[in-house]
Chain A
Amino acid sequence: DADVTQTPRNRITKTGKRIMLECSQTKGHDRMYWYRQDPGLGLRLIYYSFDVKDINKGEISDGYSVSRQAQAKFSLSLESAIPNQTALYFCATSKGGGGNQPQHFGDGTRLSIL
């Protein structure tokens, strides 16, 4: 089984719908992240959480919300999806306790908003 699992892997939905993307990890890491990837722009940070009670906005948090249900689970919600949120979404984890820790990524969720 993958260490960082994202569900669903693919999703097509309509403008205005509420969507939840889920991420679970078996690595025992404290830190979890949500990114989106757009062609030619690399990955951009949406939200991050350094422990269960810590939630922080990233570079592009508008239109998104998150929930850290447990150390192993971090969900990303789009309250009212719009077409420019069509992108590839990645969840990542890393150890806590300071920097210089590599991040470990899930396989991504391809989201299309019609």
Chain B
Amino acid sequence: KQEVTQIPAALSVPEGENLVLNCSFTDSAIYNLQWFRQDPGKGLTSLLLIQSSQREQTSGRLNASLDKSSGRSTLYIAASQPGDSATYLCAVEFMEYGNKLVFGAGTILRVKS
């Protein structure tokens, strides 16, 4: 069974700090990996999608990397701000599972001002 694991489950950092969120997955045969942000009372917002042929994607202060061989992805947030406080979810589209996503449980991020 394909699984996605996120570490840490929660993280609290002071404003301005650079931080890394981790995601691991059990099968290297994937179509893509996606990072989402979830705010309280809201749905998920897609942040970055890394295709299996790519090593990283960048959007503003966010950079996501993908290492299929080791089954790992990281989401790097530069110069964190209180507005970055949210739950960050990693999801993988495994080839064996078809065009469907398997989600990790998420990392709850709090950026203190």
Chain A residues close to B by CB (< 8 Å) = 4, 31, 33, 35, 40-45, 48, 50, 58, 90, 92, 98-100, 102-108
- By a CB distance below 8 angstroms, the chain A residues around B42 are 107-108
Docked complex Cα distance between A44 and B106 (Å): 13
CB of B89 within 8 A of CB of A100, answer no
Docked complex Cα distance between A40 and B87 (Å): 12
Picked from B44, B46, B51, B91, the residue with its CB within 8 Å of the CB of A100 is B51
Grouping DSSP codes into helix (H, G, I), strand (E, B) and loop, the B interface class, with mixed when no group exceeds half, is strand
Range for the number of chain B residues in contact with chain A: 20 to 34
- By a CB distance below 8 angstroms, the chain A residues around B34 are 102-103
| Besides A48-B100, A102-B34, 10 new A-B residue pairs in contact (Cβ under 8 A), listed by A number | A35-B103, A42-B4, A42-B103, A43-B91, A43-B103, A44-B103, A58-B100, A92-B44, A98-B99, A105-B45
Q: Which residue of B lies closest to A6 (CB)?
A: B43
B105 interfacial by beta-carbon distance below 8 Å: yes
Chain B residues close to A by CB (< 8 Å) = 4, 9, 31-32, 34, 36, 41-46, 49, 51, 89, 91, 93, 99-101, 103-106
Grouping DSSP codes into helix (H, G, I), strand (E, B) and loop, the A interface class, with mixed when no group exceeds half, is strand
CB of B105 within 8 A of CB of A41, answer yes
- By a CB distance below 8 angstroms, the chain B residues around A102 are 34, 46, 49
Measured CB to CB, the closest approach of chain B to A101, in angstroms, equals 8
